Amino acid sequence: MLDSLYSIPKVTVSEAKIRHITEKDSGKSRGVLQLKLEVERDTLNSKDNDAHEFASLVIVLGTFERRMLLVQINASLGRSKTVLSIEKELNFDWDAANADGGEGGGYVILRILRDSIRGMDLEMQIKLR
């Protein structure tokens, strides 16, 4: 049982930075989340890894108070490396995130879902400012 648990790839957020951009043409505000993830696999039990290996992550960004969806993307994972670094840029509606961000400058909620492992999601709050 422990070998099975240890074979599940470990996903960590190594960097999450938000910046605010105003488009010159339209004057519309948008936010950009620069995200860096690290996926670490245990290669000691290569037979058991196939049972818990997942092929992609779903990355979801939502508002803090009402949990409304701002943006959702997928990140595909290769199967050959033991440590994989993923960099993604998520563009979202700044005004919606800011209006529903809560007190103290506001927050958004980042959630990372594995496509084939239920209940092993990663969720974190990220400050807007």
Domain residue spans of the chain: 2-127
The pair of structure tokens assigned to 129 is 């400012």
The pLDDT of residue 51: 44
The pLDDT of residue 61: 97
Closest by CA position to 33, among listed 70, 78, 65: 70
Q: Tell me which residue has tokens 């807007």.
A: 128
Contact between 62 and 113 under an 8 Å Cβ cutoff? The reply is no
Of 3.40.640.10, 1.10.1040.50, 3.40.1160.10, 2.60.40.10, the CATH number of 2-127 is 2.60.40.10
Compute CA distances 28 → 23, 24, 94, 127, whole Å: 5, 8, 9, 21
> What is the mean pLDDT, run by run of 10 residues, along the chain of 129 residues?
75 94 91 94 55 72 95 82 87 94 90 82 92
